[in-house]
Amino acid sequence: MSCVRFKISGLILFIFFIVPLSAHAGGIDKLKEFIAATHSAQANFTQVVLDQNGKRIQSASGIMQFQRPGKFRWTYQKPYEQIIVGDGAKFWLYDVDLNQVTVKKLDAALGSSPAALLSGSNEIERGFTLKESGSQDGLDWLQAFPKTQDSSFEKILMAFNAQAELVIMELNDAFGHKTVLRFSAMQRNPKFSVQQFKFTPPKGADVLGE
């Protein structure tokens, strides 16, 4: 059960965002502007995982926070409690019900993931090939294709609304599964305390990994 939770929760890790752009800008321009202008963010999120037939196999919700470079915190509130923290050096995943912590080096945990789109200042096209995907239902879409073969995803889609907020993210893996993230109540560039992105395993918790 813990492995399944880790696999699904670990897919997302930090995606976020408000981008102050004009309405005519495409999805790629909005994403690049976000990287340049948004140094921290907080938002509510919902997460739905669909199988290859489009059937919902899991749903979750919570709050995500991040601070560039490399720091983030995702707090899953429903249907189970989980905390995912990146402290700039290590990746921590705490399963509250199981009282179990998984820890890895941050670079090893992320790999060629959505985090790579946002972690560097001007490195977005180093790890991904970006392609405009047009407009639909008032949203501007882009697609990101990883350039390496070790990515967890075959394709990532992002959608921005008229106010240049990233509101939808779709992660497509090699097994035909799709993870759909929707963000709301976005706050851009909030100030976080130093402790917000630190994690200490609770007393008595099982710690797995490095």
* pLDDT of 47: 92
What class is the 2-191 domain? Answer: mainly beta
Q: Which of 49, 61, 181 is nearest to 114 (CA)?
A: 181
Q: Which residue carries 């919570």 as its tokens? A: 62
Q: Which of 65, 10, 75 is nearest to 40 (CA)?
A: 65
What letter would DSSP give residue 14? -
Taking only the tens place, the pLDDT of each residue in 13-66 is: 444 433 333 345 788 888 877 777 788 889 999 999 999 999 999 999 999 998
Residue-range domain boundaries for the chain:
2-191
Taking only the tens place, the pLDDT of each residue in 163-175 is: 777 889 999 988 8
* pLDDT of 75: 92
* pLDDT of 53: 93
Least confident window among 34-38, 85-89, 131-135, 179-183: 34-38
Average pLDDT over residues 108-131: 63
Rg of the chain on CA atoms, in Å = 16
* pLDDT of 168: 92
* pLDDT of 22: 39
* pLDDT of 17: 36
